[in-house]
């Protein structure tokens, strides 16, 4: 009788544990789906700035989520057959590159510093070359001579006008070389609503100590890196 009662209690405990585990799993899945839906209309803009004595390097890494990726994939697919070929991708990048270069502006102490494309834009379809809701990445590479206006407490600002009509998440990384020390502007909200009236998304860095040695000189001080990160959107 005792053994039968204990066995019955054990079975009931196992059933309750299974029900609890199922409820927790379902709740987690619902949260993941909600987060996934929340970011489906966004493009994440990751801005990386490196400042040395001779050059400023600027890289923008954009991740397109489902809705904006679908729109861009439809543009890439020139023959509208639902499949994006290598030649279509290259043609898309070639046509888009001049416009993209005009939509990124670098300012040091409020003065615009001309940016030069370092490489051609790169696109990664992340293993999916079909037209449909998906993710893809676009990388842009620029450089500029280090501005003579760069001093202690000088602001360096990247004006980002890329896809202004699309919601965005922003992250900013800043690296100082040649004894340069940088500080990224802290922001409590890394999300950007669609821009209006030609307004740019601003990524701001303050120079706490300007570079003092040629970038190529041996024995330079170790780099100083700071980062301001947004809530990372979920990846599939």
Structure confidence by residue, pLDDT tens digits, 144-203: 999 888 999 999 999 999 999 999 999 999 999 999 999 998 776 778 877 766 789 999
pLDDT band at 24 (very low <50, low <70, confident <90, very high): very low
SS3 labels along 26-52:
HHHHHHHHHHHHHHCCEEEEEEEEEEC
pLDDT at position 224, please? 52
d(CA 108, CA 176): 15
Burial grade of 126 (CB within 10 A; 0-12, 13-18, 19 or more): middle
CATH of the domain at 147: 2.60.40
Q: 195 or 70: which carries more pLDDT confidence?
A: 70
Q: In terms of domains, do 32 and 58 share one?
A: no
Structure tokens at 41: 């209309």
- Provide the residue range defining the domain that includes 32: 1-39
Q: How many domains would you assign to the chain?
A: 2
State mean pLDDT over 210-235.
54
Residue 233, domain member (yes or no): no
Question: Residues in the chain, how many?
Answer: 236
Integer Cα distance of 129 and 226 in angstroms: 36
Mean pLDDT check: name the lowest of 7-16, 110-119, 203-212: 7-16
pLDDT of amino acid 227: 46
- The verdict on 196 and 92 lying in the same domain is yes
Dig out the tokens for 153 from the structure. Answer: 């407490």
Q: Tell me, yes or no, whether 32 and 51 share the same domain.
A: no
Domain co-membership, 223 together with 141: yes
For residues 134 and 49, state if they share a domain. Answer: yes
Percent of the chain with pLDDT over 70: 73
Within-domain flag for 235: no
Predicted structure pTM score: 0.75
CA distance 42 to 45: 10
Averaged over 48-57, what is the pLDDT?
Answer: 96
Does 13 have pLDDT greater than 60? no
Whether 149 and 200 share a structural domain: yes
- Among 47, 39, 43, CA closest to 233: 39
Residue 103 lies in a domain: yes
pLDDT category at 31 given cuts 50, 70, 90 is very low
Kindly state whether residue 236 falls inside one of the protein's structural domains.
Answer: no
Residues 25 and 49 in one domain: no
**What pLDDT does 186 receive?**
79
Same domain, yes or no, for 186 and 222? Answer: yes
Specify the higher pLDDT residue, 4 or 116: 116
Question: Is the pLDDT reported for residue 17 higher than 90?
Answer: no
pLDDT of 192 reads 82
List the structure tokens of 125: 């379809």
Q: Is residue 124 part of a domain?
A: yes
Quote the pLDDT of residue 39.
87
> Does residue 19 sit in the same domain as residue 59?
no
What helix, strand, coil percent values describe the chain, rounded to 5? 30, 35, 35
Partner residues linked to 225 by β-bridges:
175
């Amino acid at each position: 009788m005792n053994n039968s009662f204990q066995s019955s209690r054990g079975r009931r405990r196992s059933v309750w544990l299974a029900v609890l585990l199922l409820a927790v799993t379902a709740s987690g899945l619902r949260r993941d789906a909600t987060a996934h839906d929340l970011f489906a209309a966004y493009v994440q803009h990751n801005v990386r700035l490196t400042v040395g004595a001779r050059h400023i390097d600027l890289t923008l890494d954009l991740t397109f989520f489902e809705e904006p990726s679908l729109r861009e994939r439809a543009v890439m697919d020139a023959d509208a057959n639902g499949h994006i070929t290598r030649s279509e991708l290259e043609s898309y990048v070639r046509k888009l590159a001049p416009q993209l270069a005009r939509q990124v502006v670098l300012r040091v102490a409020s003065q615009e510093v001309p940016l030069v494309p370092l490489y051609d834009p790169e696109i990664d379809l992340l293993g999916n070359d079909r037209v449909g809701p998906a993710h893809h990445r676009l990388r842009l590479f620029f450089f500029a001579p280090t501005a003579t206006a760069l001093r202690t407490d000088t602001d360096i600002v990247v004006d980002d006008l890329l896809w202004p009509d699309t919601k965005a998440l922003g992250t900013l990384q800043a690296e100082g070389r040649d004894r340069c020390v940088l500080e990224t502007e802290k922001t409590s909200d890394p999300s950007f609503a669609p821009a209006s009236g030609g307004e740019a998304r601003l990524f701001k860095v303050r120079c706490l100590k300007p570079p003092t040695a040629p970038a190529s000189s041996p024995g330079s001080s170790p780099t100083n890196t700071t980062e301001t990160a947004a809530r990372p959107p979920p990846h599939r």
